[in-house]
Amino acid sequence: MSAPHDPQGGHDPTADEPADVDAPVDHRGAFGEFGGDAGGALIERTFRERIVIVGVALPGVDEDEVERSLDELTELVDTAGADVVDRLVQRRSAPEPATYLGKGKVAELKERCEALDIDTVVFDDELTPAQQYNLEKLLGRTAIDRTAVILDIFAQNAHSTEGKAQVQLAQYRYRLPRLRGKGSSLSQQMGGVGTRSGPGETQYEIDRRRIVRRMHRLEAELRDVARHRDTQRKARRRARLPLVTIVGYTNAGKSTLLNRLTDAGVLSEDRLFATLDATTRRLDLPGGQHVLVTDTVGFIAKLPHQLVEAFRSTLDVATDADLLVHVVDASAPDPEHHIAAATTVLDEIGAEQVPQLLVWNKADVAPTSAARLAAAHPGSVAVSAATGAGIDELLRAVGDRLRAASAVVELVVPFARGDVLAALHRD
């Protein structure tokens, strides 16, 4: 990121002021030579980049698991707008600290990249800043990781003000440790009469200060959102409406299920992370009980910690829920893996104690698998959110779980103790 200058050649005194946090960023500046603002795209949209994906098979991890993870990474890259043309796996006792892969494998990877005219190399595990820097030097092309691709997809799909702020904050947290001076322009000392940069401050330091300032602004915005959600939560408690939160792996059909239950009309597409914003609707259960149902952002294996932290205010609907409806794609190659990945995120946000109802979705696509999974997990339900099959059973199960989790307490309050009654209604 080069500093603006005035026509007289002096440093622009506004150069260290934060730009609009919603401004787009060129991904090559962001992931090659750090620059611009967060919230933009990683994959070049003017053409379909050619990608090679890379994984490491560690001890205790079988090849099928590695291949499934790379298959998912391929889908992520496709969702981001690029084409995977090759993959490479190395079995190691541990990733190489400096380059992730061993020296010989890096050389092999470089040869493949040159032979296949590869634009970018994507690694299945998060690279350290040093690994990314070293790999780009050795390979002569952009090297990124699964985390960067997921962040890119979130940036594409964020539409609300809150969603954009959350994604931008996550991108900044990811990119800040990777900010480094490249080339003479970032290593030159800047300073002089009329500058606001401080004596002898490098461009790297200016860039870092800008990013930190923007992060603070976004964090303040999201704290305001969290306070607003807390107000809504208190209002819900006063209204005595139970909260049912739909959670699960990305593309499991959560938004489709919300639409089926409540006619919410939210976006429902067969692609990863199509929905980022939480949507809440009222649902009438059999017997007349009223509840609130909320959809959430989908989970995925190796979900970046930066996203979990940035989306904390959105994910709090899971920790506040009276019941989690955990939707699982019954047609997935390894549904149990999806459950484990979602459970990891739920544990991270503190929702591990919230009661869950497992729902095997897409029974119309995989009826045998859905029936087998439902039988193997007593108390779970198989449904098709697309056709409506099994929805009545699901509604009954939700009502039963909520009633089982509630406790009836009989209190005798003296007529003169209006303050006690007021406190009960308030709390």
Domain boundary among 128, 157, 186: 157
CATH number at residue 372: 3.40.50.300
Does residue 49 sit within a domain?
A: yes
| Domain that residue 102 falls in | 40-157
Domain boundary among 125, 157, 189: 157
Closest CA to 326 of 281, 349, 296, 282: 296
Does residue 424 sit within a domain?
A: no
pLDDT value for 18 = 36
Looking at the structure, tell me whether residues 119 and 261 fall in a common domain. no
Q: Distance (Å, rounded) from C-alpha 161 to C-alpha 277? A: 10
CATH number at residue 140: 3.40.50.11060
Q: Tens digit of pLDDT for each residue in 99-142? A: 999 999 999 999 999 999 999 999 999 999 999 999 999 999 99
Does residue 1 sit within a domain?
A: no
Q: Which two tokens stand for residue 305?
A: 């910690």
Q: Tens digit of pLDDT for each residue in 203-230? A: 778 888 899 999 999 999 989 888 887 7
- Structurally, the chain folds into a number of domains equal to 2
pLDDT in tens, the chain (427 residues): 233 333 333 333 333 333 343 333 333 333 333 333 444 455 555 578 999 999 999 998 888 899 999 999 999 999 999 999 999 999 999 999 999 999 999 999 999 999 999 999 999 999 999 999 999 999 999 999 999 999 999 998 888 888 899 999 999 999 999 887 543 333 333 344 343 444 555 777 888 889 999 999 999 998 988 888 778 777 777 667 899 999 999 999 999 999 999 987 776 767 788 777 788 899 999 988 899 999 988 999 998 888 888 888 788 889 999 999 999 999 999 999 999 999 999 999 999 999 999 999 999 999 999 999 999 999 999 999 999 999 999 999 999 999 887 656 677 888 788 787 777 666 5
Does residue 258 sit within a domain?
A: yes
Does residue 236 sit within a domain?
A: no
At residue 124, φ and ψ (nearest 5 deg) are: -75, -15
Q: Strand 323-329 and strand 290-295: pairing?
A: unpaired
Looking at the structure, tell me whether residues 246 and 355 fall in a common domain. yes
Does residue 422 sit within a domain?
A: no
Looking at the structure, tell me whether residues 49 and 144 fall in a common domain. yes
Q: Distance (Å, rounded) from C-alpha 343 to C-alpha 171? A: 24
Looking at the structure, tell me whether residues 264 and 153 fall in a common domain. no
Q: Tens digit of pLDDT for each residue in 64-73? A: 899 999 999 9
